[in-house]
Structure 1
Amino acid sequence: MVSRQPQEPPEPAAHQERVIRGLFTAVILHGNITASVLGMHPTDLFALGVVELHGPLGAGELSERTGLSTGATTRLIDRLQRAGQLRRVPDPADRRRVIVEKVRGHELDEALNAAFEPIERGMEEVLSRFPAERLADVMDFLEQTTSAIQSATGSVQKIAKTRRSTLDASGP
């Protein structure tokens, strides 16, 4: 039987993969280092970013958007509320429900702005080099990439849920 070696992807595809993975790695590293410098856990910083991006959310929505269990999300909200970074408020659309929102003017805001400002400045500089018609393509690429990653994340979550239910069914 002849053993076949996996073929290397064509060079352009390999280069594209390295560049995209490099981007993701740089973003994650920046978040991890920023959290460390601020004395936070990276998951707490990520959750603050999710609330900043999407606005006030219920605990269940925050759980879905972060991939954390509901119990872990409750502990995260408690931690960030004690730190004065999030607060629980009644949902104006449904008074039976509570949502969490980011506390504006928190002392951490200035440090976060300082940490993320170089990225914003760098991105503005990079994007300013593109003519409008190419910039539209760049933004389309980023939006489609985000959708593809969200879809892949959903697939992984389904696999995890299936594995958990299989393990639960098999018992101890």
Structure 2
Amino acid sequence: MSTDPSATFRRYLSAIVLNSLAAAEAAGLNATDYYALNLLDLAGPLTSGELAVRTGLTTGATTRLIDRLEGSGYVRRAPDPADRRKVMVESTGQPKGLDEVLAGTRTRLAELIQEYPEAERATLFDYFERAATAYQSATDELIAARDA
């Protein structure tokens, strides 16, 4: 194990990405579909354009993504109540067995977090919230630079 903070953090991030890829595969999904379903679960219904921006996919690739997810029964298209020219993409549920696939990770992380005193857990969750915002901002910048 490295004592270099940068290497430790990179190892942590790599472990998250590799776990997510393995979980997606175990659930019968590719990584993009897995992340799109997670986005819809967290954000609620999105237009196809919003989903394209949030995933960083082109509009054509987003249409194919939605087609795959709809064909598998994970999402449905619905008219946007605010603008009937737009289509909303709504989650219809998660893949069967996803909870079982994620159970080991969830259990290990819950056990780890419970080892910390309550005040330190609060700090961890503050970090998670702030880091998620920082990563999203950095992602938005990368996508904007790519599309410029």
TM over 0.5: yes
Give 5+ residue unaligned stretches, structure 2: none
- The aligned runs of 1:93-104 (5 Å cut-off) are 93-104=82-93
- The aligned runs of 1:119-130 (5 Å cut-off) are 119-130=105-116
When the two structures are aligned, how many residues end up with a matched partner?
A: 147
So what's the TM-score if we normalise by structure 2? 0.86
Q: Distance in 1 between matches of 2:71 and 2:42?
A: 21
Provide the residue aligned with 1:62 in structure 2. 51
Q: Distance in 1 between matches of 2:14 and 2:58?
A: 24
Corresponding residue to 2:68 among 64, 79, 83? 79
More off after superposition, 53-62 vs 144-153: 144-153
Query: Which structure would you say has the larger Rg?
Result: 1
Provide the residue aligned with 1:35 in structure 2. 24
Q: Distance in 2 between matches of 1:95 and 1:160?
A: 30
Q: 1:39 to 1:136 in 2, by over 3 A?
A: closer
| TM-superposed deviation, 1:49 | 1.1
Alignment-mate amino acid for residue 10 of structure 2: R
Higher relative contact order (CA 8 A, sep 6+): 2
Corresponding residue to 2:39 among 39, 47, 50? 50
CA deviation vs aligned residue, 1:135-165 (integer Å, no higher than 9, x gap)? 1211122222222222222222233223xxx
Provide the residue aligned with 1:157 in structure 2. 143
Q: 1:84 to 1:123 in 2, by over 3 A?
A: same
CA deviation vs aligned residue, 1:74-124 (integer Å, no higher than 9, x gap)? 1100111111111112234444432111113x6x23x11111122222222
Q: Distance in 2 between matches of 1:92 and 1:131?
A: 46
Cα RMSD (Å): 2.0
So what's the TM-score if we normalise by structure 1? 0.75
Give 5+ residue unaligned stretches, structure 1: 1-10, 163-172
- The aligned runs of 1:2-41 (5 Å cut-off) are 15-41=4-30
The 8 Å contact of residues 21 and 31 in structure 2, kept in 1 or not, is answered as yes
The 8 Å contact of residues 26 and 101 in structure 2, kept in 1 or not, is answered as no
